[in-house]
Structure 1
Amino acid sequence: MPESEMSPEPGLESLLPRIVPGLAEQWKGSTPDEISQLERIAGRPLPPFYRWFLSRMGQSMGPLSYSTLDFSVRRILDCYAEGMVEPDPRFLLIAYESDEMMPLHLFYDFKAPARDDALVTKRDALGGELYDMFETLREKLAWDALFSYRVSDMPQQCGGLLEGDEADFLSHLDPVMSGLGFTQPVLTGSLCRLYERSDAAMLCDGVPRARVGNRVAFTLGGSNAETLRRILGAVSMESSLNVLVRKWEPDLR
């Protein structure tokens, strides 16, 4: 591909079609007019990542679609046109939640921009308490895809917490995982890490603005329990991180 035609999101452009069967044939992007309409509602330029997302999946996310969350630009525009959500210089609706029991919709919080993207939070359509999710939509999409199409398919899984002594403590995990043969398909911030190799995948995520200290959750999937033990043992021995395993699926006997 000529440099002038290179994607602004090479990580996701490579990862998603590789792990999600049929995605490249089924995702469908928004029209330039739809993107312009949404940008006028936002009252500001859309984050470059969000423009890429809309251009690829703004009409249909294909097999990546969520069961109750609708990310389509048509649904977003309708919500504003119907007055369900009012334009706000700080928040932009990016996904409509159809679950009536927990009708918390996804919004961008432009008060927290990050890496050509912005923080993803949940809240009621009319406002109220915020429930922060990921520092970027990029990280949310990549985390969810890897969990659904890699980790969940692994015969053995475990989860728990990683603790460190500094704000960017997850950076100490990178050389350990690289030495174990893992790659990082998508670059992330200090609260998130995504690692994969042929027989295993590890996902780490912390809640932005949660003030819970230097601690993040991890989910690890692999071919068997011994593989996972070796990975966690290397992390514990070769880095300064503290590993707390909370659960195994299936349970170990």
Structure 2
Amino acid sequence: MKPFVEFVEKYRPGFSEKITPADWVDISMLEEDAGPLPGAYRRFLETMGASMGDLEIADAHFSIHSTLGVYRTMSWLQDSRYIFLAGDNGLASWHWFLDRSSPHGTDDCLVVNRLLDENYPPEGSHPMYVGLEEFLYYEAFKELRLPQLPFRRKFSSPDDAAAAARYRADAVTALAEEKGFKRLPPVEHCALYERGDAALLLYRHPTQPTFSFILGCEDSAEMERLAQDFETRTGLKSVITR
């Protein structure tokens, strides 16, 4: 998780001094309740599990103390398929979970949105990211980098999977590289691109062909040029976003 901390530091200096790792006793207690934890989640807890400082992503709270409270009051969650990851700060109550039945890489797994209800069915889950690491990088870039760019456009494929299949996310990545953007590791399914005067954030659904991307620029004229190029290449129309 050290590379992620260094990544955030580029956009929010001093971040590493504000985060607080979870106590090993709390991690052990969580593992007693939730069952074995994926390595990616354990590294997150050992780095910033008690507090993420002043970084808030995905409108959610990730503190291990809140998570332990959920397991203490909702015993039906113990040793289940889903590991409670973060609580929703909004009104929708779509909380974040790790789905251990869908592993990703060597020690990560699918991130989904679910309602915190004992009888909520697995098919009601909304897959969101292929893994926790990708979730963290994507949401941090969205929260920290894009707001630095005053001119932004969003492009989205149709929500319907059959219609979305006519459009290709690789057209976005190919044009981004042609335009001088550099892809930032380690995100592989979604994509983060940086160019200094501009940035691009590509979201790809983990199980469907749908995708969207946000393009941000410092200069309005360059924004218009890039938007036209991406509209022509992808076949998608952009909308101004804030």
1:245 Cα deviation after fit: 2.5
Q: Which residue of 2 aligns with 1:35?
A: 27
Structure 2 distance, partners of 1:66, 1:194, is 16
Q: Find the residue that maps to 1:148 and give its secondary structure.
A: helix
RMSD: 2.7
Q: Measured at CA, do residues 220 and 26 of structure 1 come closer, stay the same or move farther in structure 2, by a change above 3 Å?
A: same
The reply on whether 1:76 has 2:74 as its aligned counterpart is no
1:186 Cα deviation after fit: 2.9
Runs of 5+ unmatched residues, structure 1: 1-7
Q: For 2:186, give the aligned amino acid.
A: L
Q: Which residue of 2 aligns with 1:5?
A: none
Q: Find the residue that maps to 1:62 and give its secondary structure.
A: coil
1:22–1:63 contact (8 Å) kept in structure 2 = no
- Measured against aligned partners, the alpha-carbon deviations of 1:54-82 in whole angstroms (never above 9, x if no partner) come to 11110001121359522111111111112
Q: Which residue of 1 aligns with 2:99?
A: 109
Structure 2 distance, partners of 1:124, 1:215, is 23
Pairing 1:133-148 to 2, within 5 Å after superposition: 133-148=128-143
Equivalent of residue 151 in structure 1, options 128, 146, 153:
146
Runs of 5+ unmatched residues, structure 2: 158-163
Q: Which residue of 2 aligns with 1:182?
A: 181
2:57–2:140 contact (8 Å) kept in structure 1 = no
Q: Which residue of 2 aligns with 1:203?
A: 201
Q: Find the residue that maps to 1:60 and give its secondary structure.
A: coil
The reply on whether 1:248 has 2:240 as its aligned counterpart is yes
1:221 Cα deviation after fit: 0.7
Taking only the aligned residue pairs, the percentage that are identical comes to 27
Q: For 2:6, give the aligned amino acid.
A: S
Q: Measured at CA, do residues 65 and 236 of structure 1 come closer, stay the same or move farther in structure 2, by a change above 3 Å?
A: closer
1:34 Cα deviation after fit: 1.8
- Measured against aligned partners, the alpha-carbon deviations of 1:112-162 in whole angstroms (never above 9, x if no partner) come to 111231111111112522122211222222122111221122110000136
Structure 2 distance, partners of 1:222, 1:231, is 9
Q: Measured at CA, do residues 154 and 38 of structure 1 come closer, stay the same or move farther in structure 2, by a change above 3 Å?
A: same
1:196 Cα deviation after fit: 1.1
1:204–1:217 contact (8 Å) kept in structure 2 = yes
Q: For 1:108, give the aligned amino acid.
A: L
Q: For 1:124, give the aligned amino acid.
A: L
Structure 2 distance, partners of 1:92, 1:249, is 33
Q: Measured at CA, do residues 125 and 60 of structure 1 come closer, stay the same or move farther in structure 2, by a change above 3 Å?
A: same
Structure 2 distance, partners of 1:85, 1:152, is 40
Structure 1 distance, partners of 2:230, 2:56, is 34
Task: Report how many residues are paired.
Answer: 231
Structure 1 distance, partners of 2:25, 2:154, is 44
Structure 2 distance, partners of 1:202, 1:164, is 21
1:69–1:95 contact (8 Å) kept in structure 2 = yes
The reply on whether 1:54 has 2:39 as its aligned counterpart is no
- Alignment TM-score, normalising by the size of structure 1: 0.79
2:71–2:78 contact (8 Å) kept in structure 1 = yes
